[in-house]
Each structure stands twice: as C-alpha cells, then as structure tokens.
Amino acid sequence: MPESADESFQPTQKFFESQRLRLSYWDWGNEDAPPLVLVHGGRDHSRQWDKVARAFRDRFHVVALDMRGHGDSEWALGSQYGLPDMALDVVRMIETVGAPATVICHSYGAQATTVAAATYPEMFARLVAIEGVASGVIRRLEMNPEWIREWGDKARESEKPRMRVYKTIDEAAERMLEQNAGLPRDLLPTIAGYAVKPVEGGFVWKFDGWVLNRTSMEVRRDELPRFWAAVKCPTLLVSGGVSHLRIEPGNPVLNIFPDARLALIEGAAHWVHHDKLDEFVERVSGFFDAVPLKS
C-alpha cells in the first residue's frame, strides 16, 4: 500500500439523480485533481473500494458510486436493472464530477461501464475493467415470446420475499467471507456494516433482490463484443489468475478492444482488488503512467 494512503481519512457521502432515481456516491476529496470514478459489481456497494480510493486519492478526485438498487441508492421500480440502465447511471456520475474521467470498475459494474464507454466515448479518458468481459447474467435467446416467458416467470418469482435475516452484522460478515475468503479483515467491518440495513430480528442486505433479473431488453452475451470494439479510450483488462474468468495472454478479446492490454494477477480470484491489493494498485498505477491524460 502506498505510504501516501491516509487510513484515517473518511469520504463524504453525496447524491445525484439519474433517470428519476436518487443515487448515492462517496467523495474522497482532492477536487482540483482529475476525476477517478469507481464502479462496484453486482450485489456489492461503493465502500468496498475504500482501500483502492485511499491508494489513488492523492492523484485523483476519487468518487465511488452506489449503483441503482445497491448501497444507499434508490431501488428501481419494476425490473430496470439492465446494462443500458446502469450505463446511463455511470454517465451521469461522470457528468456530476467532470468529463472525461478515468474509471475503475468490477464485474457487473464493468459490463455496464463498458457499454457506457462504447456509447459515450467522449466521457472516458481511461478504463480499468476488472473481471468484466465474461461475467454476468445475459439473455440467451433472441427476442421472441419464449424469451419474454422465461424472463417474466423469473421476474414474477422475485415478487416473493426471500431476504435472509442475519441476527448480527458479524453473521452477515461471515457470509461475505464464505463468498470471498480474500476480503481484507481490516476492511471487513466497513464492507459488512455498509452492506446491510436493520430490520425486525436483525439485518438484511441493502441491495434490491431484483437486481439479478435485469430487464426484458437486456444486451445478449453475443452482442457485448460490439460494445468492446467501440471503446475508444485506453483500456486495462484486469484478470484474476485463479478466477473462473481468467483471461490468458493472447486471448482474442484483447484484439476486440481498439486499445487494450492485460494485467493477469496470479493468486487472485474474482475480487482481484481485494485478493492482491498491492499488486493491483501497482499494475494500475503503471497503466496510468504509461497512458497519461491528454492535456
């Protein structure tokens, strides 16, 4: 971890509106510096970026977004959690802090951000996409009655409450560790504490249970390369060496992006920035040095 990363500094929570939703983000200050936007993955939240934000806040004006239906951002009514909807939220976040911005994004958030970067290329200076070119729940069928039925049955099933109640925050934290054993123990109280909200009998996750349903008009998996090919800014694809989404050097996806390079971090799983934080910061910093911002 860089010596300049002040562990005592705390960000300020702020809000903006996107598509009539009130979205939350955390501002790490240094507003005269170039903007760096952090976008989390599905069922996650903005405060999981705390260590990454501290590592870069001397160099950037860092903000971390709570995507719609996550953290302290409002939930979308209906099923509007598709990549196009999320992409517009990322664009509004950038507009709020200033464009063009450098963006670091993870998993589902990286998919949405890639769609945004392809659609609004003038908003993006550089892009770091962690584990974001192969993951996600993407509709597999062409648009037809069968697809609408499949999507509709799943959406209707979500109307039944299924949120598990955890008696304590520590119990919720243990569940998080089951999903990602690499979570930093010193950051875990913040990650777990921000991920839940109190209810009768204990705590439940803050995220909207509908986020996994996406939308009836979701981007199909085989359509994503069209967006990758339209990303104009320099791009660093970060892959975990022991992740189920590992990208090997020479993977054809690297040739789809007009200006992409790979950072394969051995020993890291899907949450690369948690599992190998120091190496992640070093590799991303090297990318920023190699691709300086245009004046």
Domains and CATH numbers, the chain: 12-135+218-290 (3.40.50.1820)
Closest CA to 40 of 88, 111, 98: 111
Residue 250 has pLDDT above 90, yes or no: yes
Amino acid at 234: P
**Residue 5: per-residue pLDDT:** 55
The Cα–Cα gap between 170 and 82 comes to: 32
**Residue 137: per-residue pLDDT:** 45
The Cα–Cα gap between 218 and 156 comes to: 17
Residue 1 has pLDDT above 60, yes or no: no
User: β-pairing, 61-65 with 21-27?
Assistant: antiparallel
The Cα–Cα gap between 84 and 217 comes to: 9
The answer to whether the beta carbons of residues 130 and 238 sit under 8 Å apart is yes
Q: How do residues 199-245 score in pLDDT, each as one tens digit?
A: 999 999 999 988 877 777 788 888 899 999 999 999 999 999 999 99
Work out the number of other CB atoms within 10 angstroms of the CB of residue 110: 26
User: β-pairing, 124-130 with 101-106?
Assistant: parallel
**Residue 209: per-residue pLDDT:** 85
